[in-house]
Amino acid sequence: MALASFKNTILHNLVSKPKTRKVEKEYPTGTRGHVENDMDVCVLCGLCSIKCPTHAITVDKVAKTWSIRPMSCIQCRCCVDNCPKKCLSMGLRFQEPGEEKVTKTFKQSEKAIAAQEALMKAAKERAAAAAAAKAAQAQAQAGSTPASGANAQAAPAKAPEKTEEK
């Protein structure tokens, strides 16, 4: 009996028009689209690739590139929420489906690379200055304690200058 009703359904679907209609894609506000990266702000720290549950993001610090496989991305927003520089954002436009999976790769501009190198150089200089100040402070404290006064090195005496007479 069930087979007869199934045959009727098949025949009806073969000869009748579809019951559905095409609708233009309109996504409501608040829905998520694709991940966008502002490469001039990105420091290539790699936190986005670590936090991505599908491993759709790849960061190459040597080549200064950031890559994403859009068809592997599930738009969970983990990368956007964990970015320390807030250079990642969710676009409003959805990724269009394609026949093949592609990887979108973005390279940092020379200007951004130079700016980051300048920041790293300044940070290293500040760290060296802080370490020198800490060492000087520790040496000054060691010299001011009475127990270590005997062990403290005396300042070298100034050698007498030789004068040549003609």
Predicted TM-score of the model (pTM): 0.54
Residue 45 belongs to a domain: yes
Domain residues for the domain of 47 are 28-132
What is the C-alpha separation between 32 and 93, in angstroms, rounded?
Answer: 8
Residue 48 belongs to a domain: yes
Residue 150 belongs to a domain: no
pLDDT digits (tens, 9 = 90+) for 72-116: 888 888 999 999 999 998 887 766 666 777 888 888 888 888 888
Residue 12 belongs to a domain: no
> What is the reported pLDDT for 49?
92
Number of compact structural domains in the chain: 1
Residue 66 belongs to a domain: yes
Residue 78 belongs to a domain: yes
CATH number at residue 103: 3.30.70
Residues 6+ apart with CB under 8 A from 49: 55, 57, 58, 59, 79
Average pLDDT over residues 133-142: 89
Order of strands across the sheet that contains 57-60: 57-60, 65-68, 104-107
CA angle (36 as vertex; 33, 40 as ends), nearest 5: 165
> What is the reported pLDDT for 129?
94
Average pLDDT over residues 123-138: 92
Tell me the two tokens of residue 120: 């790293």
Using DSSP, state whether 165 is helix, strand or coil. Answer: coil
pLDDT at 166 over 50: no
Choose between 32 and 162: higher pLDDT.
32
> What is the reported pLDDT for 28?
59
Choose between 164 and 151: higher pLDDT.
164
Give the HSE-up count for residue 64: Cα atoms under 13 Å, Cβ half-sphere. Answer: 14
pLDDT band for position 50 (cuts 50, 70, 90): very high
Residue 46 belongs to a domain: yes
Tell me the two tokens of residue 35: 């991940």
pLDDT at 145 over 80: no
Average pLDDT over residues 30-43: 80
